[in-house]
């Protein structure tokens, strides 16, 4: 959000205009609940106007039969989304956290080409780590691998 009234609406318009010009295209919104959450009486007018502009432009794509623009959104809190946004998202997919086997595969990809010990037990490390963690893998300047809080 900008400190200048109306800037957020202009940015939303710019995103949709660019997506239309570059079609086929995808507008991907991560953490969509952070700015397209439920409307509240106490919400700032600029935020309400931005949401309204976003939904109006989105509706324009659904009525234009030639438009090849898709809006995708991701959230960890779908219950926080505004009902009007949920109506515009025709499908929902739950993507669960990876299990231990999947986390081990992810770690192998992350560590590919890195200087790690051969006896490193990736499966054991994967059991102590969630992909959502920001703490697990750091490579030091000497090429050593660090796992914070992993015993």
Q: Which two tokens stand for residue 104?
A: 């081990």
Distance CA 108, CA 144 (A): 16
Band of pLDDT at residue 25, cut at 50, 70 and 90: very high
**Secondary-structure class of domain 7-88 per CATH:** alpha beta
Contact assessment for residue 52 and residue 12, using Cβ atoms and an 8 Å cutoff: no
Over residues 82-140, the pLDDT tens digits come to 888 888 888 888 888 888 888 888 888 877 776 666 667 777 777 776 656 544 455 44
Extents of the domains making up the chain: 7-88, 100-147
Average pLDDT, integer, range 65-86: 86
pLDDT of the residue at 151: 44
Contacts 24+ apart (CB under 8 A), 82-90: 82/36, 82/37, 82/38, 82/39, 82/51, 83/38, 84/55, 85/32, 85/36, 85/55, 88/55, 88/58, 88/59, 88/62
- 48 C-beta neighbours (distance < 10 Å), count: 12
């Amino acid at each position: 959000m900008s400190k200048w009234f109306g800037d957020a609406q202009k940015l939303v318009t710019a995103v949709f205009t660019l997506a239309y010009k570059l079609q086929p295209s995808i507008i991907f919104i991560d953490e969509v609940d952070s700015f397209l959450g439920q409307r509240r009486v106490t919400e700032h007018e600029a935020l309400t106007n931005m949401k309204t502009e976003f939904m109006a432009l989105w509706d324009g794509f659904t009525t234009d039969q030639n438009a090849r623009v898709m809006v995708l959104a991701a959230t960890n809190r779908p219950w926080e989304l505004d009902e009007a946004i949920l109506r515009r998202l025709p499908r929902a997919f739950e993507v669960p956290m990876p299990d231990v086997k999947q986390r081990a595969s992810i770690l192998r990809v992350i560590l590919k080409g890195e200087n790690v010990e051969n006896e490193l037990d990736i499966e054991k490390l994967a059991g102590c780590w969630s992909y959502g963690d920001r703490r697990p893998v750091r490579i030091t300047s000497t090429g050593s691998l660090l796992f914070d809080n992993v015993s």
